[in-house]
Amino acid sequence: VLSGVALLSFKAARTPKDKEHPYGHGKFESLGALGISGMLLLTAGGIAWHALDVFREIWLTAPEMVNQSLDHSNGHIHHGGHHHGIDMDHPLLALNMTLVSIGVKEGLYWMTKRVGERTGSGLMKANAWHHRADAVSSVVALIGVGGSILGVGILDPLAGLLVSGMILKAGFESGYQSIMELVDAAVPPEGLEPYKGTILGVHGVKGHKHLRGRRAGSSLYLDVDVEVDPFSSVSAAHDVGENVRRQIQLSHPEVAEVFIHIEPEDSHIADDKIDLLHANEQRDDVEEAVSDILASDFAGKFEVEGITRHTLQGQIFLVIEVSMSRDDLLIRDAAGVALDAEERIAKEVANVAHVSIRLRLGRPLPSS
């Protein structure tokens, strides 16, 4: 039954994204793993209950066990106790069949466990422990048979309690991991180290911060702020982000999606939010102020083709593209006029830290 639950959950988790589930169906895998974990806990409880029941019977029948030992010394073998349904009339056959059962189920455990580790699937790991629970239950039966043959019946319940503890531990660990996935718990920092190297290896990336991850079954979702050259164009910065996304998904197939936020390198939020808001209001008037200065004091010398504004740490960096209005103006003279204009703008326009006026000699870029 549990293998059927694992198979259905595994298939459901790999259903393609749709309109109702834009982030995929990976959490079906986590739900399946949680269900299997619950069954492991019940299995552990059942084995422990059986072991304690056998302990109680041994305690209550201690005088009879002494008589059994006396009968055994007189050549009369008496079989008693519970041995998980094994036929004690044929102990050698029972031992052989139990050994075969242990081998098969332990083999299934390792096969399923490797699949879970390769795919990062908590569901497969939980299902692997379902197979091991069957195997260790057979171990309990084997110990019980051996104890019966040797006349040491207490081995059965002792082994049962030990096995119950192992399964209980595995059930709690698997269940905890499934619950953490269902509530979008963060991936531990050490689990994100491989992705940091991949991000920093992409051309154009100056740094990164706030790398976070969350799991949905065997799928991993990452969020990261990628830092780029602060003077890059929007399209160039976007290309860097897309290259980061592609490289992560090529190098790490377990990553289902990467959510990337582009930031200029060395950008920081101002501590004084009031000053920052005031600066934002002033920025709205920067282009108008620059245009007024160039039109009033440098009329007939330049024509403004475009103004590009960069904002870093609350300060403004301007790149102004101009063309020459006069055919008789030498480039050397135009450079001097541009220097005067840069100094004037930096002095009179608030929050402008640097101005660069660039002369366009060719055709302008097409505008949208």
Same domain as 343, residue 305? yes
User: Rounded to 5, what percent of the chain is helix, strand, coil?
Assistant: 60, 15, 25
Same domain as 93, residue 36? yes
State the average pLDDT over residues 169-197. 88
Same domain as 120, residue 155? yes
pLDDT in tens, 76-109: 434 444 444 444 555 566 667 767 777 777 777 7
Single-letter code of the amino acid located at 244:
V
Q: What angle do CA 363, 239, 219 make, to 5 degrees?
A: 165
Residue 220: give its domain's CATH number.
Answer: 3.30.70.1350
Same domain as 344, residue 295? yes
CB 151 within 8 A of CB 94: no
Same domain as 194, residue 178? no
What is the pTM assigned to this prediction?
A: 0.64
pLDDT in tens, 212-241: 999 887 788 999 999 999 888 889 999 999
Give the residue numbers spanning the domain of 163: 2-182
Same domain as 120, residue 19? yes
- Does 368 map to a domain? no
Same domain as 233, residue 92? no
* Last residue within a domain, chosen from 203, 235, 264: 264
pLDDT at position 350: 76
Same domain as 202, residue 122? no
Q: Which of 63-67, 110-114, 177-181, 264-268 has the lowest mean pLDDT?
A: 63-67
pLDDT in tens, 8-56: 776 777 777 778 877 777 788 788 888 888 888 898 898 889 888 888 8
* Last residue within a domain, chosen from 147, 164, 182: 182
Domain count, the chain: 3
* Last residue within a domain, chosen from 264, 285, 319: 264
Provide φ and ψ at 268, rounded to 5°.
-140, 145
